[in-house]
Amino acid sequence: MSGASIPSKDYRRQYAPWVDELLSEWRRVLLEESPVLGPSLSAFEDDFARYLGARRVVGVNSGTDALSLALRVLGIGRGDQVITAANTFFATVSAIRMTGATPVLVDPDPLTMNVDEDAMAAAVSSSTAALLPVHLYGRSAPLPALEHLAERHGLALVEDAAQAHGARDAAGRRVGSVGACGAFSFHPSKNLGAFGDGGAIALADEALGERLDVLRNLGKRSGHAVDEVAPNTKLDTLQAALLRIKLPRLDESNERRCRLAARYRAGLSGVGDLLLPDDPGSGQHVFHLYVVRSQHRDALRAQLLSQGIRASLHYPIAPHRQQADLGIALGPGGCPVAEELADTVLSLPIAPELDEVEIDRVVEAVRGFFAGTRP
Ligand SMILES: *Cc1c(COP(=O)(O)O)cnc(C)c1O
């Protein structure tokens, strides 16, 4: 059962095939372009907009900034409520909070672990300004239903697509291109990752792009004239040049994730009390993470770690149980499904740079745990 350890991701392996191409492009950029707002940035923004089917893309410094600027450009802030998923990465909630708006968390669908449209509908109040579904783990939230809900109540629809570059909703649309704004992260761990932080806002309406050009750049309209107080959060030219090289192979890398996910499903169906990710049936899941559930999660994880298998947790603390004051009016028990998930979810290694032999070793190790085999 021994052998080399199995990482949850491996940047050295991921970058090995890209190094020569990246270095020659970076060499060109260093000698020809501006480090800030260089031509490679607008070229990547155009490429990514075309890929998504969005009207425009605006590159920023992180997914968190993409979310908060998306809300801000839509006029959402103090006094407004924004409804999002109670089992999301806490940055979704911080981003809402940083605009001054109040996050309202709703329990996910226990089967899909994704946003539940009925729970969102039940949470709409006279203060609600936006719905912020999260395409968690790489699977599309129920966008057609949420579009209807937003329309019926006159709410903005903002998508957190940080984990779902390339995923498609039930109507076949790329996620992030459906709502007024779609927020992406290019953190190195994501399906489309930079070598450092990065993010972008995809827009359904081009006009918002001009205001975002100002909002991401200290509020400067031109020269020394400042229109408003705003952060400095631009995607770097070098990161954009790298992302532009990686984008054409995003679909291939997502397909590889899907093949590895199918291998897990085949190997782990019916094992112990494991709940495997539900098959979406429509749309396109891109398996940013492969999240299983078990009542024996902690013991299973400990045994996998002892065998060198980097199983991880997304996420062990629901946002409303964090120490930070995220402005959420909810106590323990406030979102029982999210709390149950925090105690039972386990992310098995999945990354395009892993191979089938490694997935099979994880499968064997998980089966061994439930068969009572000591490593
Ligand atoms: C990664 C992530 C973010 C934040 O993106 P950063 O680039 O790390 O700021 C927001 N929401 C979700 C769901 C994420 O996975």
Q: Ligand 1 centre from 322 Cα, in Å? A: 16
pLDDT of residue 328: 84
pLDDT of residue 330: 80
Pocket perturbation via mutation, ligand 1, pick of 163, 186, 314, 326 by most ligand atoms within 8 A of CB? 163
**Peptide bond just before 137 cis, omega within 30 deg:** no
Q: Mean pLDDT of residues grouped by 10 in the chain (375 residues)?
A: 80 95 98 98 98 98 98 98 98 97 96 96 97 98 98 98 98 98 98 98 96 96 90 98 98 98 98 94 95 98 97 96 86 90 98 97 98 80
3-class DSSP state of 176? coil
Over residues 117-159, the pLDDT tens digits come to 999 999 999 999 999 999 999 999 999 999 999 999 999 999 9
pLDDT of residue 280: 80
Residue 189: other Cβ atoms inside 10 A: 14
Distance (Å, whole) CA 43 – CA 22: 16
Of 121, 124, 125, 71, nearest to 101 by C-alpha is 71
Residue closest via CA to ligand 1's atom 6 equals 63
Type of residue numbered 20: D
* Token reading at 97: 């909070």
Residue closest via CA to ligand 1's atom 14 equals 162
Residues with CB under 6 A from ligand 1: 62-64, 88-89, 91-92, 134, 160, 162-163, 185, 187, 197, 199
Q: Ligand 1 centre from 138 Cα, in Å? A: 12
Q: Ligand 1 centre from 40 Cα, in Å? A: 23
| pTM, full prediction | 0.97
pLDDT of residue 158: 98
pLDDT of residue 2: 52
CB crowding 37-71: b at 16 or more within 10 Å, else e: bbebbeebbebbbebbebebbbbbbbbbbbbbbbb
293: part of which helix (H) or strand (E)? strand 290-293
CA distances from 217 to 2, 36, 211, 213, 362 (A): 51, 10, 10, 7, 45
Pocket perturbation via mutation, ligand 1, pick of 64, 97, 105, 236 by most ligand atoms within 8 A of CB? 64
